[in-house]
Amino acid sequence: MTDKLQALDFIRDVEVAVSVELGRTRMPLRQVLELGLDAVVPLDRQVDELLDIYVNGTAIARGEVITEGDRFALRIVELAGDRRQGEAA
């Protein structure tokens, strides 16, 4: 296993885009154009659901928001590979 990890050493410094999806919704463009200050947009996710974590647009994990000092942070709770194994069982 360590040989495989060492083989990846040359790409460890490549920067990737990491994003977290809070939720989604669909609405007509008319409604989007009507959005203003204090508008509320309901999302398709419950408060206690884990958030999806993407690297370059590919889901790699799920996690929960935490605070670290005066900033938001993310705690990884489930890796995508773990989720697939759990679904197969």
pTM of the model: 0.71
pLDDT at 24 over 70: yes
Strands 58-68 and 51-55: what pairing?
antiparallel
Share of the chain above pLDDT 90, in %: 74
The confidence score (pLDDT) of residue 86 equals 47
Contacts of 79 (CB under 8 A, 6+ apart): 60, 61
Residues in the chain: 89
pLDDT at 85 over 60: no
The confidence score (pLDDT) of residue 52 equals 95
pLDDT at 89 over 50: no
* Domains of the chain and any CATH numbers: 13-88 (2.30.330.10)
The confidence score (pLDDT) of residue 41 equals 96
The confidence score (pLDDT) of residue 12 equals 86
Residue type, 13: D
The confidence score (pLDDT) of residue 9 equals 83
C-beta separation of 44 from 51 below 8 A = no
pLDDT at 43 over 50: yes
